[in-house]
Structure 1
Amino acid sequence: MSLHGFFQNAYVTHDLDRAIDLCAGTTGIGDFAAADFELQLRTPSGDRPIQLRVATAWIGALQIELIQPVAGHVDPYVGGLPADTGDFTPRFHHVAVRRDDPEALADEIARMGLPIVFETGGSGISSTFVDAGKRMGHPIEFVCANPDGWAMLGWPNSN
């Protein structure tokens, strides 16, 4: 397992809009791009739908991702959230690393022997979310994309 290509810290929240305001006000992180997503997660127990609200912002080469689980198979995201749904403070959730070769990534994941939580993809981007809790204390998201996908993610110098 290598964290080579690390580019993202991701956080979960009960309220995306308030979390964006909090981050902008306390850390100076601004220019979050927010969107609503409906995805199909390929899980070990079959395909599962999920709805998420997501916002991302870049600070140099680091992307900050804020995630609000909304509906569907939200289990991979809600474990770190407080029981108080009024508490919108972002909670650390996972890191993401970049990979450019899907076949090499599949081999890397097989060698790691870590459980796959889900896989998803579309628009030139695919991701595999693995449970690295027993090794790292948190999940890792491996992201592969074609040049258009990286540009859509706002990857620095992708244009």
Structure 2
Amino acid sequence: MLEGMHYQNAYICDDLEAGIALFRGRGMTKEPIIIPVDQTVQTPEGPKRQKGRICFIWIGDLQYELIENEIDEVGIYANCLSNGGPLRFHHICFRIDDWEDFRARVDEQEFPVAMERDLTGEDPNGLKFLYLDARKVFGHYIEYTWMPEAMWQQIRAM
């Protein structure tokens, strides 16, 4: 299942500031905002907590997400093994236009859902996301997101 608009490559790092520093002089034009994240996501085994810090760096039309993991009850970030460098590739992300159609087909395809969250219940302008575990074919997870256009424009401006 590969569909939507690929806009993001994501990396795990043990030190977010050191990860950001690697992008300076390599196309990063403005300093990213560090966002603390503490959330409960749905998994096949039930609700689990994810806590850490993230930032988004845009270079051209590609967003780089850096993730510093603190609490990972899902195990989705902690299972990203060290490659000897400060950044470890973790997933790509696609933006989906029609979430209901997409979500109806997720359970019919081969990759299991690792985790998902729907923030529209908390905020009608919130986003929805899910991760598929595509490691057996692609070697990484695939994230899919849906968000209102206004939120997309806000993310693009970060």
**Tell me, which stretches of 5 or more residues in structure 1 are unaligned?**
none
Cα RMSD (Å): 2.1
Structure 2 residue aligned with 1:16: 16
Structure 1 residue aligned with 2:2: 2
Q: Structure 1 residues 79, 145: closer, same or farther in 2, change over 3 A?
A: same
Structure 2 residue aligned with 1:38: 38
The number of aligned residues is: 152
Q: Structure 1 residues 72, 137: closer, same or farther in 2, change over 3 A?
A: closer
Structure 1 residue aligned with 2:145: 143
**Tell me, which stretches of 5 or more residues in structure 2 are unaligned?**
none
How far the C-alpha of 1:108 sits from its partner, in A, is: 3.0
How far the C-alpha of 1:106 sits from its partner, in A, is: 0.7
Q: Structure 1 residues 57, 153: closer, same or farther in 2, change over 3 A?
A: same
Secondary structure of the corresponding residue to residue 150 of structure 1: helix
How far the C-alpha of 1:113 sits from its partner, in A, is: 2.6
Q: Structure 1 residues 70, 33: closer, same or farther in 2, change over 3 A?
A: same
Contact 1:12–1:67 (CA under 8 A) maintained in structure 2 = yes
Q: TM-score, normalised by structure 2?
A: 0.86
Q: TM-score, normalised by structure 1?
A: 0.85
User: Cα deviations across residues 120-159 of structure 1 (Å, max 9, x unaligned)?
Assistant: 1325111010001112111100101112331332269xxx
Question: Which has the larger helix fraction?
Answer: 1
Structure 2 residue aligned with 1:59: 59
Q: Structure 1 residues 104, 30: closer, same or farther in 2, change over 3 A?
A: same
User: Structure 1 residue runs of 4+, over 4 Å off?
Assistant: none
